[in-house]
Amino acid sequence: MRAGHQLHLLEGGGELFPAMVRAIERARHLVHVETYIFEFAGAALQVAEALERCALRGVTVRLVVDGIGTARLPQSWRERLERAGVQCRVYLPLGHLGLLIPSRWRRLHRKLCVVDGLQGFCGGINLIDDLDDVSLGRLERPRLDFALQVSGPLVADMLETMEQLWWRMQAVSRARQHEFRAAWEAWRAGWPALPLDHSPPGRKASPTAAALLLRDNLRHRHDIERAYLRSIARARHEILIANAYFIPGRKLHRALTLAAARGVRVRLLLHGKYEHFLQYHAARTAYRRLLEAGIEIHEYAPSALHAKVAVVDASWATVGSTNLDPLSLLMAREANVVTRDPAFARGLRQRLDHLLQTAGVRIEHEQLRLRPWRLRLFDRVAYAIMRAMLWLLGHRY
């Protein structure tokens, strides 16, 4: 971790989207956005319109969306963005065979935005209205999710990883068109030289230490998982995790149960709404063992939970796009910011504690035991399917 950062926690699109728009409106050189879902409707339209205005004034604007999360940009908006000069790319379009090709299970799940190399945004919030859900439809209450607005040295790391992916996508596209020389040039291409003085004028550098952690299918396969495991192993008092899709593997399950065994209070705030058969039912196979280990499980009741945050001992915290399930930890491109800043960690811990007490429904062991046999069978079937899929990909989890 390096010092010199300012971290501002944003809750939901209601806080993230206006902050992104303000930063985009001040852009002078480059705006680069990556997201899994971009829904051109509702509150997310303000971000699309800001990108359009930014490109029209001559700023380089790049947008990358995932080929499943945003399978198709609306034709009207694609044309508007192209006319404005926004460069749009789709990561791994499914094609005719879709998910029958296992390599296409590897998705772009991270949510990043960098403006001029000076301001960055990282978290779990997709560019979709807080009251819209692709699986649950229109929500009565806003979705619970978090992101960070960041300034400091790690913004350069965010920009570097985004630009590397951008030029690799360019190279692959050229190669598929048999333009091999252009593909080689795209692969080797650099990115615009940007100012990297992260200290606001007249203000001393912040002591806040933070780092950007990535998960990809090359050099950073296990970085985020290892960061979780290290922080859990060092916990002495409390572990708080809010995570949408929680299916812990052997290592994470063991780390949590060992922490509980040495007296650490472990509390989980998880997504309780039914969205997908596999994720919903496979997650519940872990509940019984976790409860037997003394770990508290709460399901978020008011609405959908999409958060991916954690706090350990009110001194270590992470905010990002990574679910604690095999899709995120083994296959998807993810990005998390981690920090050891006590003030930030205490603030996030206070928010999560409040949510657990006021919006979480605690799951008890007896409640699981009394679930209908049909649901318990679904749990086992979903878990078996998940393990079979991982076996096909050659993964142990």
Q: According to the model, what pLDDT value does residue 188 have?
A: 52
Which amino acid is located at 90 in the chain? V
Please give the DSSP secondary-structure letter assigned to residue 204. Answer: P
Same domain, 144 and 270: no
Q: Domain span at residue 48?
A: 6-188
Q: What is the DSSP string of 261-328?
A: HTT-EEEEEEE-S---HHHHHHHHHHHHHHHHTT-EEEEE-SS-B--EEEEETTTEEEEES--SSHII
Same domain, 236 and 164: no
CA distance 127 to 387: 31
Domain count of the fold of the chain: 2
Same domain, 152 and 72: yes
Give CA angle at 122 (117, 126), nearest 5°: 120
Give the CATH number of the domain where residue 153 resides: 3.30.870.10
Q: Which of 169, 188, 207 is the last residue of a domain?
A: 188
Residue 201 forms part of a structural domain: no
Residue 260 forms part of a structural domain: yes
Residue 196 forms part of a structural domain: no
Same domain, 31 and 171: yes
Same domain, 25 and 163: yes
Residue 197 forms part of a structural domain: no
Q: According to the model, what pLDDT value does residue 394 have?
A: 82
Same domain, 157 and 227: no
Task: Give the E-state strand segments of the chain in sequence order.
Answer: 6-11, 30-35, 60-66, 87-91, 111-115, 119-123, 132-133, 137-138, 146-151, 210-215, 238-243, 265-271, 296-300, 308-312, 316-320, 334-339, 360-362
Q: Considering the entire predicted model, what is its pTM? A: 0.92
Same domain, 31 and 88: yes
Same domain, 285 and 341: yes
Residue 204 forms part of a structural domain: no
CA distance 242 to 355: 10
CA distance 397 to 384: 13
Sign of CA dihedral 197, 203, 207, 213: negative
Residue 176 forms part of a structural domain: yes
Residue 331 forms part of a structural domain: yes
Per run of 10 residues, the mean pLDDT along the chain (length 397 residues) is: 96 98 97 98 98 98 96 92 96 82 86 96 98 94 98 96 92 65 54 49 71 93 97 98 96 97 98 91 92 97 97 97 95 97 97 97 91 93 91 83
Give the residue numbers annotated as catalytic, written as ranges: 109, 111, 116, 306, 308, 313
Q: According to the model, what pLDDT value does residue 173 have?
A: 66
Same domain, 158 and 243: no
Same domain, 241 and 153: no
Q: According to the model, what pLDDT value does residue 389 have?
A: 86
Q: According to the model, what pLDDT value does residue 202 have?
A: 47
Using an 8 Å Cβ cutoff, are 223 and 214 in contact? yes
Same domain, 180 and 272: no
- Angle at which helix 373-393 crosses helix 277-292, to 10 degrees, equals 100
Same domain, 94 and 221: no
Token pair of 317 as six digits: 């915290």
Order of strands, sheet of 296-300, starting from the edge strand that comes earlier in the sequence: 210-215, 334-339, 316-320, 308-312, 238-243, 265-271, 296-300, 360-362
Residue 321 forms part of a structural domain: yes
Q: According to the model, what pLDDT value does residue 201 have?
A: 46
Give the Å distances, CA to CA, from 65 to 100, 112, 185, 390. Answer: 21, 11, 23, 25
Burial code (b: 16+ CB inside 10 Å, e: under 16) for 277-300 equals: ebbbbbbbbbbeebbebebbbbbb
